[in-house]
Amino acid sequence: MIWLSRRPGARIAATAVILAGTGVVLSGAAPAAGRQLTRPSLAFTCQSPSGSPRISAHVAVSIPGTATARQPIRPAAPAVTLTLPRAYGGQLATVNAATVSVTAQVRSEVTENGRSASDPWILKTVSAAVPSRGDLALRMTGAVQPVTGAAAGNATFTAAGLSLLLTPRTVSGTAATMPATTRLECTLNPGQTTTLATVPVVAATGGTRAAPATAAAGHFLTGLWQSSPGGRLSATTPKKKVVTLKDAATGTVIACTSSAMSGTSKFGQQVSPSGIGSFSSVTLVTCTGPGGKTFTIATSASASHPWLLNGRSFDSASDVTTVTISDIMAGISASGCSATIAGPSSTSPGTVEATNSIDPNVDVDTLSVGPSGNLRVWNVSGCTGLFNSGDVITVAATYKVTPPQFVSPAFCPPFPVKTGFPFNPHFKLPTPPPGSRIIPAPTPVQGCAFIKGFTNVSKLGAAALIGPAFGNVQQSRQTILNLARNYIQFDSAGRLYYKPCPGTAPKCKAINGLPPVRATFLSFGFTPTTATLQITQAGTLNIASVGTSNTGLLTSSTVQSLASIRVEKVLVNGAPLNVGPNCHTVRPFPLVLNAGPGYSIQAGGVLSGTITVPPFTGCGVGENLDPIFNASVSGPGNFAQLTQGVLCTGWTPEAFPFQCPALVPKPTR
């Protein structure tokens, strides 16, 4: 699975390690044919309440030598050895700690054609006795999901960061007399080679299982945006980065050595791009103009009249968001000189354009302001030769935003970002081997994909085209791992989503189901009949994928849901047949589709299954037409084959979308 690599969610599962994006194998293992092996030793500096210890990590990495676009890149099982410094062991000894358990989280990048992404790796938490002297070495192994290359080019795996969660225990197993857990956030020391492997990705050929895709379709796009992590934010200009205000007519430049902004940003997956953030305080200090003249710039930003941050556009190739900052007004003053900055008139606030970009390797958010905008200078007094009323003013500034704010259009349908989707209790997930561990996802991660395919009505000997339908899923709501049995299972949940038209009118209300299917067939072998079938979903759907933990290879996947069918707009031999508004199956029926090794929820693929359609009820106005539909449609043996497109990862906490917008696949018969 690929999604854009950013800092992970707020908590680490007590029994899991997520090692993002690098493929590491057991120390000493030989690489398989056509694979690359590298074993870098990496040095980190960590921040904790008690100091800044240095920690080394040794990884062994085995990644395929080549890959095919839209096909999984499958690293082998991960292993990493961490060395905690002697000083930390001494600290544990002073508080009667006999053992320490360590959960680690290593951040690394998969960069493809200029775009960075990460992949969750699962390692098991380990415990070790505290040594009486010397460093403490800990070795962890686990499993990894595959990543998928979107297009031909190179996929480069690069190390990025490390987090540790340390839990000391006494001989009796109770918490030691120090904080129950210690969190260490670590960054790579400069000057190291962090590239782990580069995989050439070749274009897919006609023989691959992944189907070609067409442009995005459907009315699910709401025009709303998503923003994370939200809350309080600050923005400051880096050292030696001045803020300049320039009069386009006279050439006058005022340069300020520093500037700071503070405010808030929204959190959510379906929020208005207008006012997605705001600045209640904006200051510019040490400002000088021509001849060293000192200027004071007072801005209008306040809690009651903030400057608004508005989403404008998003470049999915570079992950750069274009925004505007509006409601700008300011006063300029110097000895014997004063003026105001506003918009098109002296009383209307102005706007500047800016871009927001995040360096995925160090999580640095840069807001670059200007020079585009509609600011002008007004009410000029005593500033002869410097400004003239009505002159265009351009602004150029660079700010570092803390914490980084990930802002983009919402490419997927509405999603409960705090809770995710529940599993459908009507179905049982696969039973894992005894001794397996269930690892819940730390935070919900959303994906969405188009689905298109065919289904037949067995009794009529006819097929109908389905879709493009849309799946809205929570990826890997839980992972089940059993290293001893070489077993891994990824369980996701979701809902079907269909919006008949843009807007908020009642007729445009979204439903959990498939688009209406208009099908024509021969009733009883000789009467041409056309009908619209609407398939709706009851509850959520479960997606379970099972594979081997040492390779990450998926061997089988199953999609389970409950569905109902409603029939409307029936024509028999060209004449309308009034079936009424409530002609539907008497109960929801299981819709179960299966896939083999060629399918993954991230890369998509072909799903197929056989459906038993229940009897119909409520059909007909003035006469009971239920027997007709029961005789011609109800029953077993109705085959369905659907092709899922590549998953658009629409919402990851602290991450931009990836592989978005979703594309419609070409169905496979």
What confidence tier does 283 reach under pLDDT thresholds 50, 70, 90?
very high
Alpha-carbon dihedral sign for residues 28, 32, 33, 39: negative
CA atoms of 403 and 401, how far apart (whole Å):
6
> Distance (Å, rounded) from C-alpha 390 to C-alpha 229?
40
Higher pLDDT, 23 or 505: 505
Average pLDDT, integer, range 412-422: 91
For residue 374, what are the contacts with CB-CB under 8 A and spacing of at least 6? Answer: 343, 344, 350, 351
The whole-number pLDDT of residue 360 equals 64
Question: Please, which residues bridge with residue 195 across strands?
Answer: 158
Give the tens place of pLDDT for each residue, 463-515: 677 878 889 999 889 988 888 888 889 999 999 998 877 666 777 788 898 88
Q: Average pLDDT, stretch 34-40?
A: 59
Q: Give residue-wise pLDDT tens across range 556-609.
A: 999 999 999 898 888 877 788 888 889 999 999 999 999 988 888 888 889 998
For residue 9, pLDDT beyond 60: no
Q: Which range, 102-116, 390-404, 460-474, is most confident?
A: 390-404
Q: What pLDDT does residue 51 have?
A: 63
- Confidence tier at 55 by pLDDT (50, 70, 90): confident
Residue 350 sits at φ, ψ, to 5 deg, of -105, 175
Q: Please, which residues bridge with residue 126 across strands?
A: 102
* 371 pLDDT tier (thresholds 50, 70, 90): confident
538-558 per-position pLDDT tens digit: 999 999 999 887 776 788 999
Among 97-106, 169-178, 346-355, the least confident range:
169-178
Q: Tokens for 388, please give them.
A: 């003239």
Q: Who has greater pLDDT, 613 or 144?
A: 613
pTM flag (> 0.85): no
Query: Which pLDDT does position 45 carry in this prediction?
Result: 79
| pLDDT tens digits along 66-104 | 777 766 676 665 677 777 777 666 666 666 677 777 776
Q: Would the CA dihedral through 653, 657, 663, 665 be positive or negative?
A: negative
pLDDT of residue 459: 60
> Which whole number is the average pLDDT over 41-62?
70
Q: Is residue 7 scored above 60 in pLDDT?
A: no
Highest-confidence segment of 50-59, 71-80, 167-176, 650-659: 650-659
Domain ranges for the chain, please list them: 17-208, 225-409, 437-665
DSSP assignment, residue 667? P
Cα diameter, the chain: 95
Percent of the chain with pLDDT over 90: 29
Is 321's pLDDT higher than 70?
Answer: yes
**Mean pLDDT computed over every residue of the chain:** 78
CB atoms within 10 A of CB 496: 24
Average pLDDT over residues 520-527: 55
For residues 253-264, give the mean pLDDT: 93
